[in-house]
Amino acid sequence: MQAALSGQAALVTGGSRGIGAAIAKRLAADGAAVALTYARSPDRADAVVRDITQAGGRAVALRADSADPAAVREAVDEAARQFGRLDILVNNAGIGVIKPIAEFALEDFDRTVAINVRAVFVAAQAAARHMTEGGRIITIGSVNADRMPFVGGAVYAMSKAAVAGLTRGLARDLGPRGITVNNVQPGPVDTELNPAEGEFAESLKRLMALPRYAHADEIAAMVAYLASPAAGFVTGASLTIDGGFAA
């Protein structure tokens, strides 16, 4: 049987670890050639590429700080150049600065917006120039766009709510070209930056219908669905995968 994404090419921003690495590996397993960006971890990015190639896939790591719009555009163009096409963009790179508003530095605000919002726009704009009918733009947002149950997350929640709005607008802009645009909103996910053990994690689990953190592979599975032909009629959507965090 032919893999669902055979012959396609994807770019995953922030693909050297955590959710991004899981997405890169899943898209490769489904047949796509995958480029992934990293900002400061070449060894980790190379390890993801090695895992993909050893499993029979094709992958390349590209250095690009998502805070730098020129670097984001160059990464998109380089992925398309190396693979001869670009069918799938996954905007995964993001940061989360959690501080009470009285302590929130303007520099942290600006960097949050630059990475979590501006980079999504820049990458989508650049990728759309390479995409044809059937293209997919998928952004990793957050359930915190809809629910922020703890102190210090105002700016993070704002950035993810902005992504949800941008997704709806881009879906309208690109729909006539047959390109879908969607937003995946995870709840708590077990990663190095937000491990499933510890006092903070236990407080979040008490808010969930399923009292556990997600695995990165579960988020990757939803992304893989949106990237696949099966999701050809899904666009402009924010799909929540949060274990009932927002229920």
Give me the active site residues, please: 156
Residue in the structure block whose two tokens are 């520099």: 107
DSSP E strands, the chain: 9-12, 33-38, 59-63, 88-91, 136-140, 180-186, 238-241
Cα–Cα distance, 42 to 62 (Å, whole number): 9
Cα–Cα distance, 97 to 107 (Å, whole number): 11
Going by the DSSP 8-state scheme, the letter that residue 147 receives in this structure is -
| Helix, coil or strand: residue 177 | helix
Distance of CA 137 to CAs 12, 198, 236, Å?
10, 34, 10
DSSP assignments along 83-123, one per residue: HS---EEEE---------GGG--HHHHHHHHIIIIIHHHHH
> For the chain, how far is it from start to end, CA to CA, in angstroms?
38
Cα–Cα distance, 218 to 161 (Å, whole number): 22
Cα–Cα distance, 18 to 31 (Å, whole number): 21
Residue 86 sits at φ, ψ, to 5 deg, of: -145, 120
